[in-house]
Amino acid sequence: MNKNISPQIKTNNLSIIFSKNKPNQFTLLSKLNLNFFSNKIYFIVGNSGVGKTTLINHFNGLLKSNDGDIFVEDIAILGKNRKIKNVKKLRKIISIVFQFPEYQLFKSTVEEDIMFGPLNFGLKKNEAKKLAKFYLNMVGLDDNFLQACPFNLSGGQKRRVAIAGILAIEPKIIVFDEPTAGLDPKGEMKIIEIIEKLKADGKTIIVISHTMDLALKVADEILMIDKKTVTFSGKPYALFTNNQILTTTNIVKPKIIQIIDCLVQHDKSFASLYSLQPKTIEQLAKGINDVLIKKE
């Protein structure tokens, strides 16, 4: 389907090498050729330390490799060039919500924190105020929070304010690094709602996560990094039902897949659930019920 559509992000033989040409040279990632297309939700998964966060920090120029090229829409980050042209435009296209972004809050009010990004990109104060209100509401907080001190909020509220600050920049591509880390189930559900709303609004989403239940629920595509490269790229069920690939990592299958595996061990007729590909408990329950009805 994407053959005639240009990727929004493309990497060409991208390698990330530390201490290059020195005795302690270390290659973190080697010759990656990746394509990220618009208006999709991508998850990047893999063991801790394989280079997931380092990779996405190259996408908006926070880090730069001399080996390989990255293309973000019409901006080229070329390995042969020391400097990246149009860095400000690049970071308007793609913005990163870092793990525990609430630690980056620093203004005296929530409104000022959310306005900081838009003002930095040249918007007038009254326009930035409108964006602050709009995106605060979008992440589920009402106008009463605008004048609140961000440091007095709960952990989940701080996370949402920090996300609102990134959304107020209105990037086309948003990267979330472990967005549900440290949140309770209610907070996790709100993050899922935000991610799904962003996709509905036409955004491209890239998520780094160790939470495979979240990946199964919302991902359109999953990339798994292992042994310095991408060892899998495809649909969630294709990864989570591939035991050969999963045994090389510490990835834990989503609970829904684990339940299906257990059912199939006891009764092969439940194997049809793999084709059904349920993503929620409700969908799984309906699928199980349908199998039982057919067996009667």
Task: Give the pLDDT of residue 275.
Answer: 94
Go through the chain and tell me how many residues it has.
296
Domains recognised in the chain with CATH numbers: 9-250 (3.40.50.300), 254-296 (no CATH)
pLDDT of residue 50: 95
Q: Count the neighbouring beta carbons within 10 Å of the beta carbon of residue 49.
A: 9
Contacts of residue 199, Cβ cutoff 8 Å, sequence gap at least 6: 39, 40, 41, 205
Report the alpha-carbon distance of residue 137 to residue 147 in Å, rounded.
Answer: 14
- Per mean pLDDT, which range of 100-109, 202-211, 252-261 is the poorest? 100-109
Counting Cβ atoms within 10 Å, is residue 295 exposed (0-12), middle (13-18) or buried (19+)?
exposed
Report pLDDT digits (tens) over 136-165.
999 999 999 999 999 999 888 999 999 999
pLDDT on residue 42: 98
Q: Is the predicted pLDDT of residue 101 greater than 90, yes or no?
A: no
- Average pLDDT of the chain, as a whole number: 93
More confident residue, 2 or 106: 106
Distance, C-alpha 147 to centroid of its chain: 30
Average pLDDT over residues 111-124: 96
Contact 203, 7 (CB under 8 A): no
Q: Which two tokens stand for residue 43?
A: 């998850």
Contact status, residue 136 vs residue 114, Cβ threshold 8 Å: yes
CB 206 within 8 A of CB 44: yes
Distance CA 209, CA 174 (A): 14
Which pair of structure tokens corresponds to residue 72? 């973000």
- Tell whether the model's pLDDT for residue 2 goes beyond 60: no
Write out the two tokens for 196: 């799904």
* Neighbouring C-beta atoms of residue 13, cutoff 10 Å: 12
- Rounded Cα distance between 163 and 102, Å, is 8
Q: Are 64 and 58 in contact (CB under 8 A)?
A: yes
pLDDT for res 112: 96
pLDDT of residue 53: 95
Instruction: State pLDDT tens for residues 177-214.
Output: 999 988 888 888 999 999 999 999 999 999 999 999 99
What is the pLDDT, as a whole number, of residue 1? Answer: 45
Are 287 and 278 within 8 A, CB to CB? yes
Selection from 12, 52, 46, 59 nearest residue 29 by Cα: 52
Q: What is the mean pLDDT of residues 50-57?
A: 96
Residue 42 β-bridge partners: 206, 221
Give the pLDDT confidence of 157-183 residue by residue, as tens digits: 999 999 999 999 999 999 999 999 888
225 in Cβ contact with 29 (< 8 Å): yes
Exposure string for 234-272, b = 16+ CB within 10 A, e = fewer: eebbebbbeeebbeebebebbebbebbbebeeeeeebee
Of 7 and 184, more confident:
7
What does the pLDDT average to over 117-131?
96
Give the pLDDT confidence score for residue 3 in this predicted structure.
53
Give the Cβ contact number of residue 218 at 10 Å.
20
pLDDT confidence band for 115 (50 / 70 / 90): very high
Q: At 45, phi and psi to the nearest 5? A: -125, 165
- Please report the pLDDT score of residue 4 as a whole number: 59
Q: What is the pLDDT of residue 182?
A: 85
For residues 28 and 63, what is the distance between their CA atoms, to the nearest angstrom? Answer: 13
